[in-house]
Amino acid sequence: MAVNPADSPVFGTLYGSDTMRAVFDEQALIQRMLDVEAALARVEARLGLIPDAAAEAITAAARTDRLDLSGLPASVRNVGYPVVGLVAALSRAAGPEAGRWTHWGATTQDILDTAVALQVKAGLALLRSDLLHLIAALAEQAETHRATVMAGRTHLQHALPITFGLKCAVWLAPLISHVERLDQLRPRVELVSFGGAAGTLASLGEHGIAVLEGLAGELALGAPWLPWHVRREGLAEAVGFLGLLCGSLGKFATDIILLAQTELGEVAEPHAPGRGSSSTMPQKRNPIAAEYVLAAMRGVQALVPLMQGAMAQDFERATGPWQAEPLALPQAFVLAHGAVRHALFIAEGMIVDAARMRQNLEATGGLIVAEAVMMGLAPLFGREAAHHAVQAACDRARSGAIPLAAALAEIPEIAARLDAAELATLTDPARYLGSSDAFIDRVLAACHQG
């Protein structure tokens, strides 16, 4: 009974991925909580706080397929959290002798928060892996098309010539930075949560810190300076990062959608029979992947304020903000991973029409290189005079529907200084690419270093 399309067996392929859903679904969360309970028992047994046999029995029982969880929904409705009912089921499965040592010294939030930290760790690792594939795909496109000249556009108008390789490098550069951000935030969010009833671990006496650090080691998580029951900036940062990542993917998707317009036709998504088709228009090839990247971006960025709002936690245990986090965090990861997967699909198989790029570049008869002409004439006439001369030539080219080179040749003072070959060179878009190649090299170097 999926309500959110990201969790739907029908729409889920558009809004997320099965692999990320498997990290964050309800069964995975329950198993992570059991993993935490089992790890806690093993650590406490090593420290002599509970019997070794109890830890062994608890570990053996701590699997969802070995527990009777039929009463868990009723327990959650009554208690407000799943841990009480889950611990009861685990204690029964471990047996009466071992079961009385289950959940020793812990509180509900310890188990839930640590389970979520384990999910976030797996989710970030999955994102990182696919993000690296996306980076590699865009790097290959940047290299392949470093000399593919096209129109650069500002305010949706022709500006100056660029290369498609440079455009790919522009899409690529923030993704390299996002990998760096991801690696930097992981130690701040992949932390064990263990503080007992009010964040003091008083029930464990002098052994509290030892259990905290042992539990962190057992679960391959970091050990925080102190319990983070009401410190939620780590989880908020993780979702904030997803918002930034999706924003960069949204820029990529927006460009793809615009370049795929019939009037431009310079780039298209990979095509398969029926993909992006219409129920009424047989000719349609809609940019489906890019559209769903944008949908995911808006969804994730809408969840960022919810996570940040949940940071205002009252006293030692929150009454409401903590409970709001599950509404945002899993969905943000699922949507973000779906966006990365869609972007990867586009990057790996995009159809680049270099001939159409050249055709569009020449659509204005050379006006796109007006700056190049002005800068070329400036040493001969001075910058201001060159600007006025080229502006007059542009007006003449527009009114007479002639190429800019021909209009320039009609201006006597220019024709006296430059012949037809020199004007052709001056108006060649491929000769006015500035540092495009160097910028591509710099981004690719950063990519390879990473």
154 token code pair:
């500002």
User: Which domains occur in the chain, in start order?
Assistant: 15-106+197-223 (1.10.275.10), 123-144+155-191+228-362 (1.20.200.10), 363-449 (1.10.40.30)
Cα angle 282, 283, 287 (rounded to 5 degrees) comes to: 110
Single-letter amino acid code for the residue at 101: W
Q: What are phi and psi of 160, to 5 degrees?
A: -140, 160
Asked about 317 being catalytic, the answer comes back as yes
Q: Tokens 């001056």 appear where?
A: 426
Confidence of residue 389 (pLDDT cuts 50, 70, 90): confident
Given 92, 285, 317, 396, the catalytic residue: 317
Q: What are phi and psi of 191, to 5 degrees?
A: -120, 140
Q: What is the pLDDT of residues 300-325, one digit of tens each?
A: 999 999 999 999 998 988 888 888 99
Confidence of residue 405 (pLDDT cuts 50, 70, 90): confident
Lowest mean pLDDT among 109-118, 239-248, 339-348, 374-383: 374-383
The average pLDDT across 251-275 equals 91
H runs (alpha helix) in 264-364: 288-309, 321-349, 354-361
Which letter does DSSP use for residue 161 in this model?
E
Confidence of residue 284 (pLDDT cuts 50, 70, 90): low
Distance of CA 129 to CAs 177, 300, 341, Å?
15, 20, 11
* pLDDT at 195 > cutoff 70: yes
Averaged confidence pLDDT in the chain: 92
Lowest mean pLDDT among 2-6, 46-50, 239-243, 289-293: 2-6
Percent of the chain residues topping a pLDDT of 90: 72
Distance CA 360, CA 266 (A): 9
* pLDDT at 282 > cutoff 90: no
pTM metric for this prediction: 0.93
Asked about 203 being catalytic, the answer comes back as no
Given 278, 298, 417, 435, the catalytic residue: 278
Whether the CB-CB separation of 287 and 276 falls below 8 Å is answered with yes
